[in-house]
Each structure stands twice: as C-alpha cells, then as structure tokens.
C-alpha cells in the first residue's frame, strides 16, 4: 500500500496547483461593494439616538426567511474560526498564504452586507441577533474536529490530527462552500424582496468560486494520493455537518429551512455531494489500492442510504405540508 503523505509533503506537492488556482480565482472573481446592495433610504435611528427600537411588525420577512437569514449570517460571522482552521492547515507561505488572506477578505464582505441589510430594513431583531453572534463566535467552530469527534477510530488510524488536517479541511470546505451557495440562493428567493435576492445571488456567486478552488485542490490530492484523499473525503461526507451547528436555535431554524426548501437532505445529496464526487470521478477511477477500494465501497453504501433518507424525508414533509394546508383551508371556510 502506498505511504500516506505528511502534511508538509502535501503542501509542497500541491503548491503549484494552489498557485494556478489562486491565479484562476483572481481572474474570475468580481470585486463588489457591500454598500451597493443596501436600501439605505429605508433606515432610521434606534432609540439610543432618538428613534424607535425594533418592532416585529416592521419586518417584511416571514418566519422562514428570518430563520434562513439569521442562520446564514451567523455562519458567516464565525469567519475567525474558519480562518484559523484554514491558516493552520494551509500555512501562510506562498500561494497558500495569499489564498487564506484573499478568501478571508471576500468572506468578510458576506457578513457585512447581510447584517447591514437586516439592520437597515429591520428584518430581524438586532439585539437578539447580536446576542446570538456573541454566543456563536465565543463558542467558535472547527469543522475538522467536529467531524473527528464522530469518527471513533480516526485517532487510531491516523495518529496526530494535524497529519490529516489539509485533506480533511479541503474536503470539508469543498462541500460546505457549495452547500452555502445553495442555501444563500434559496434564501434570496424566500425573502420575497428583489434587493435581498440580488444581494444573496452575489454572495452565492462568491461561494461558488471558493468551492471551485477547494474542489480543485482536493481533486489534485486525489490524483496525488488517491487512497489517502478518498479516506478524507469519505470521513467528511459521512460525518458532514453545516458550520452553523451549535449556534442558538440552529436545530429549529434548520428544520424550518429544510421544510420549506431552503436546504434539505435531497438538495444536500443531489446538488452538493454527488456533483462534487462526479467531478472527481470517484466511482470511475481505477487508481485506488485495496484500502481505497474498501473506502469507496463504504462511501457508496453511505450514499445509497442517504438517497433513501432523502426520499423518506420528502415523503414526511409532503404529508406535513398537506396537513397544514388542509387545516388552513378548514379554518378559512
């Protein structure tokens, strides 16, 4: 069996790929200004400056849109945690370091523009939003360690987690960036406001470019060390959690978002996981060794069950929505 590469070896071998993809990103990325997406003329002072504080009646967002906007914004707010993880695993040298800085700066715009929109339009309670931000950022988040907590044999298999940091990190952010893109786009539609929709489409476009960078790095890792990279991908796919996990009201908001098509299990399977795996030709490759083949079988079994779980969820959701519709019709008659 081929020897697993160390973190340093992976960084060195993949450095040219990182440089090529930084250059690709800079060529395709569009610079934009958060203030251009905010309806400033709708703003007014709060009580501390002689105005009035938030009243729920002021919001034009329904409960689904509120839940999605809060979840997406608090996710973006936790950028310092993500920066730390990426910087620790990528290093701050050469193209790796340039990407860490550029990615962090671009991601920061997302939180800026979403918060400005919600505060100016009084879309959600700004005091509750700030309290939730403080809690979520204080707790922090490490997607690799969260996944590792659910992998009972990871330490025994790999030893020091630092040795698997790069591949697990790029695998995670590949799926996470694409998942966030889906969530932002659907949230924009749910807001029923062309300004919010335009803003979130802009953010989603950024997330897609970020996903391409990480997907290409992970794909190069698959070519360089197939078994090792597939193990990291499988660890992440089979234990995937969105980065908002642990924020206040995450479960309740997640249920609302899934129930109303913002982000659900079917979207996760069909729009996030499978397109990426197809891009890497995971199930067509012929370069896996015995361990890689075993891992691929594990991944295939998981995906088969995920597809079944998504179908079961859709059936349950359709029944629940039908019951609610019937109840509303009965009350209206």
Both tokens of 214, joined, read 């990480």
Question: In the block, which residue shows the tokens 């907590």?
Answer: 149
Torsion sign across C-alpha atoms 260, 261, 262, 265: positive
Question: In the block, which residue shows the tokens 């399977």?
Answer: 269
CA 245 remoteness from chain centre: 11
Both tokens of 67, joined, read 């839940």
Torsion sign across C-alpha atoms 306, 74, 131, 36: negative
Contact 109, 34 (CB under 8 A): yes
- Residue 257's alpha-carbon distances to 179, 185, 263, 267, 317, in angstroms, are 13, 12, 6, 12, 12
The Cα 163–Cα 178 span in angstroms is 25
User: What b/e sequence results for 188-217 when a residue is b if at least 16 CB atoms lie within 10 Å of its CB, and e otherwise?
Assistant: bbbbebeebbebbebbbbbbbbbbbbbbbb
Known binding-site residue numbers: 76, 107, 110, 177, 207, 210
Known binding-site residue numbers for Fe cation: 76, 107, 110, 177, 207, 210
Taking CA 259 as the corner, what is the angle to CA 257 and CA 264, rounded to the nearest 5 degrees?
Answer: 65
């Amino acid at each position: 069996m081929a020897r697993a590469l160390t973190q340093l070896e992976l960084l060195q071998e993949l450095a040219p790929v990182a440089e090529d993809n930084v250059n690709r990103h800079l060529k395709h990325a569009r610079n934009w200004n958060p203030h251009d997406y905010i309806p400033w003329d709708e703003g007014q002072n709060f009580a501390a400056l002689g105005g009035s504080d938030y009243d729920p009646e002021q919001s034009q967002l329904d409960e689904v849109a509120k839940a999605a906007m809060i979840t997406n914004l608090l996710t973006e707010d936790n950028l310092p945690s993500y920066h730390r993880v990426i910087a620790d695993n990528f290093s701050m040298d050469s193209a790796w370091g340039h990407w860490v800085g550029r990615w962090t700066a671009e991601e920061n715009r997302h939180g800026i523009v979403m918060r400005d929109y919600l505060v100016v339009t009084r879309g959600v309670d700004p005091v509750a939003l700030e309290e939730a931000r403080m809690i979520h950022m204080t707790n922090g988040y490490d997607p690799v360690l969260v996944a590792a907590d659910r992998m009972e044999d990871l330490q025994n298999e790999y030893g020091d987690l630092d040795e698997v940091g790069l591949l697990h990190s790029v695998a995670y952010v590949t799926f996470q960036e694409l998942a966030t893109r889906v969530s932002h786009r659907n949230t924009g539609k749910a807001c029923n406001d062309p300004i919010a929709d335009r803003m979130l489409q802009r953010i989603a476009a950024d997330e897609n470019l970020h996903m391409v960078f990480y997907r290409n790095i992970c794909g190069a890792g698959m070519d360089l060390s197939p078994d090792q990279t597939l193990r990291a991908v499988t660890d992440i796919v089979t234990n995937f959690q969105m980065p908002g996990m642990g924020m206040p009201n995450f479960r309740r908001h997640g249920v609302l978002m899934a129930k109303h098509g913002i982000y659900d299990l079917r979207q996760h399977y069909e729009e996030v996981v499978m397109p990426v795996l197809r891009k890497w030709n995971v199930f067509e490759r012929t370069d896996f060794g015995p361990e890689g083949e075993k891992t691929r079988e594990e991944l295939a079994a998981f995906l088969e069950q995920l597809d079944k779980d998504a179908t079961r969820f859709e059936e349950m959701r359709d029944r629940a929505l039908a019951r609610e519709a019937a109840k509303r019709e009965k009350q209206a008659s």
